[in-house]
Structure 1
């Protein structure tokens, strides 16, 4: 039989060794995607997550990066290394389709940026959401574009002779100055006559279209795991629920081929966060979003029919900060991470297990108050009260998420053996979200060749003497079971090396 744990376990990075040079452009039809997934709203039978190492963590890959602890300045910088666009700006293309109009510019350095605007009803709301959302997700480990708040003068923009505009029909036509002026007229004006925009730098590499939240890219030899089984995509629901990013569809992602020849790899990005927090990009967030699917399920329709629509849903009674238009409709009141949902069903989110959600919740709860405040500040709100309000809501939603998902598992981390004793961290207790729990401990020796466990007497955190004297290369393990709820437990496998005992395997059970 093959060994369960190899010498390089736990893996820190996924080996992506095949060239992706042949990856071609793919597209997602928005209407088909909506109709197809809206009909598949039922939760599938639970399946194990893939794309994880033997500790149950997501290793580095073209999808995800375990970033080291970031300083406040690094959190505020995020993926942004090139800086905001430099004037003058040459408009090279524009669109009138989509939720909000936008255009594409080339700055004085020749860099391409995609420009988005705020609605007149809620100045600063959508542009801030796009910037803040990208910074949170970058810090959490995902690939995102460089998003900037841009304060500019209309005179800084000039139209390229080759500029094209895409109409609602999808047809492209040469763009004229009147069309550019019409787009700029829709932008809220700042004091002094300037306009505020969101500039998103084009991602590095050759663009090959969005990825789907299910299946794989058949033209990428390194894309071997069904997307709906990836823990970094399943657990992403928890982060999206935190920042209320409800437009969680494949068309708001982007793949690009970075490198050439044998070094070419597909890198997977998340983008378009203008509908996050209290924003729906072109208006304040519809209170229904995050609570119900765009297309009501049969159960939701039946409930409304039985009550003749006279009994309001909980989300219909929530109050929002209408005195803070830049905050949109964002609140912690009525927020339940166990029932939060995107605008329409996402196959990876539907497949999320409590253990996937725990992985996501660890990332959310890792953000401290000063870190949240620093990132929200990058939204550059003119009213300090808006930043303060959004910060407090995020802190409240963070804690709700931690309590909800930490209570479904044994939230234990940082397993070590030192001085002949087992040590670990109870995240629920150290984060002041849950009371400390008691755990029953059982020990065993582990045969790595055939995965056989042999129980050893001992029920305390002290390593039994029969195991403590094991030689280098030996494996031992323990199972911790919550005293009040036996379904919540953690089994940890340790391997002895010249430096002592190292945790090489973690397996969790959940409610």
Structure 2
């Protein structure tokens, strides 16, 4: 088992390609449901990723391995196993509206009473503190920008709920209100000065932070309160390459579906600030062994929020620096209207600039190019879209309710915008590849499966599916054709399937006469004969 996991981690053998000759493609434990961190990571050291350098590198360089290859963090059936990056939640079981509103944990925020300020916020664009409540529980506190009450706080809490539901590691966030007199300076409190150095914090530092925060009509300040993530903070992760001192971080990040699929989720919620500084690795020690967990955080620049105000009109449509549109504008001295210049946004201060009518998923852009997003293949985006299809209207509404927007009409509009954007993503990326999912082969040779695009009502079912059956040699990778059959709701296997326990059969499933040309390209499914029937051990949507 140990050698199997090491091979899987280092080379993804059996996950992404036929293994070398004389080595089996599938192992007894396939498909793996969880990838454990088999190596001790106790020597990993904290690092700081420069925001300016990381932004410049991604805008003008090409970080990461060249080319676009199949994701290397998927298991043998083309799914993401649980790992230090991801835990299957909405993808494997239904979620209730109450669970969506609850979030990561049952923590609902600070206890009544004074908040003791321990540190001033050292990075990011919005004011904030680290505080402890009367129980001694620690929270990170952020505020809305002046004049834009609820804009960033509501967006961050709602979107954090959504990303937790998808399966990512995020902090627990809640909305809380505080008055100035309930913020007291703690003994030994520190803040970071303009020179980047720590210094003792003064009472005036609290006031200067609050001067950059929105205030409610009753004098209170609305805040996001976030719980501390589990483990020792190590700094963020990059969307390309690996962390060199983490022995378990062996797949280049730009080749990970867990990060590539964030393009689909980011497009849905308008997460234009998906970059290294908005992530955090933490070192978690359990029973004497340390491992790094990879967390996402800071969703203040989502929905219609740009963090310090509404999104700029160009956001989601262009990168911060994008040469072609600028070059096209040169002949008329820049007076060439771009599409985003003509968009009229809903007039709600509390939700900012966010709409669905002009939303085009394949054309969506974050502020800064993202190495993992740029390498996302159609099968990665299909996977993300299928997971998003499980985000029901009820769950969307519950997530927005967690953001506690007080303008009911604005909140309702936000829900409808997200529903429309979700549906556009499903229409764009579910039918773009062969959408056959969940193949099952009964002991008597009946093949059943679903069509994710048809289930999501974004495509019509084909008249028939075709299946090409072959016996598969798990050691050499060679196949021996058995026959070809077809059907609509299910497909019967031809005679001649191997009967020996431990034998394998390969099935290529396609819909060659479907209106979508991509469906003529077959998916490949591999089944292993066991004592209880046929077990799905392999699946490949794209080579």
Establish whether TM, by shorter chain, passes 0.5. yes
Q: Which residue does the alignment assign to 2:137?
A: 111
Displacement of 1:74 in angstroms is 1.5
The answer to whether the 8 Å contact 1:336/1:400 transfers is yes
Aligned position for 2:342? 317
Q: Distance in 1 between matches of 2:194 and 2:457?
A: 51
> Offset of 1:429 from its aligned partner?
1.0
Q: Counterpart of 2:471 in 1: which secondary structure? A: strand
| Cα offsets for 1:274-312 (capped at 9, x unmatched) | 000100111101121111111123x22222224533331
Q: Deviation at 1:265?
A: 1.1
In structure 1, distance between residues paired with 2:186 and 2:216:
26
Contact kept? 1:21, 1:260, Cα under 8 Å: no
Listed one character per residue, the Cα deviations across residues 406-457 of structure 1 (whole Å, up to 9, x for unaligned) are: 1220111111123532111111111111222343321111111211111112
Secondary structure of residue in 1 paired with 2:447: strand
- Alpha-carbon distance between aligned partners in 2 of 1:421 and 1:96, rounded to the nearest angstrom: 61
TM-score (norm: length of structure 2): 0.90
Structure 2 unaligned blocks of 5 or more: 1-21
Partner of 1:31: 52
**Following the alignment from structure 1 to structure 2, what is the Cα–Cα distance between the partners of residues 38 and 126?**
25
1:367-421 CA-to-partner distances (Å, cap 9, x unmatched) read 0111111111100111111221111111111111111111220111111123532
Greater mean alpha carbon deviation, residues 167-176 or residues 216-225: 167-176
Name stretches of at least 5 consecutive residues in structure 1 with no aligned partner.
none
> Aligned-pair RMSD on alpha carbons?
1.9
Aligned equivalents of 1:165, 1:263: Cα separation in 2: 33
Q: 1:415 corresponds to which residue? A: 439
**Does the alignment pair 1:463 with 2:493?**
yes
Structure 2 counterpart SS, 1:105:
strand
Q: Does 1:215 align with 2:246?
A: no
Question: Any conservation in 2 of the 1:92–1:160 contact (CA below 8 Å)?
Answer: yes
- 1:78 matched to 2:99: no
1:488 maps to which residue? 521
Contact kept, 8 Å, 2:434 with 2:521, in 1: the verdict is yes
Instruction: Tell me if the contact between 1:84 and 1:148 (Cα under 8 Å) persists in the aligned partners.
Output: yes
1:59 alignment partner in structure 2:
81
Of residues 194, 199, 222, the one that matches 1:168 is 194
What is the alpha-carbon distance in structure 1 between the residues aligned to residue 288 and residue 522 of structure 2? 44
Give secondary structure in 2 for the equivalent of 1:459.
Answer: strand
Whole-angstrom CA distance in 2 between matches of 1:97 and 1:503: 48
Q: What CA distance in whole angstroms lies between the structure 2 residues aligned with 1:45 and 1:350?
A: 10
Judge conservation of contact 1:42–1:350 (CA < 8 Å) in 2.
no
**Paired position in structure 1 for 2:168:** 142
Q: How far apart, CA to CA, are the structure 2 residues paired with 1:45 and 1:488?
A: 22
* Most deviating of 20-29 and 192-201: 192-201
Preserved contact between residue 57 and residue 63 of structure 2 (Cα < 8 Å): no
CA distance in structure 1 between the partners assigned to 2:192 and 2:522 by the alignment: 55
Contact kept, 8 Å, 2:77 with 2:540, in 1: the verdict is yes
> Is residue 280 of structure 1 aligned with residue 302 of structure 2?
no
1:342 aligns with 2:372: no
- Check whether the contact 1:4–1:449 (CA below 8 A) recurs between aligned residues: yes
User: Quick check: 70-79 or 132-141, which moved more?
Assistant: 70-79
1:17 maps to 2:38: yes
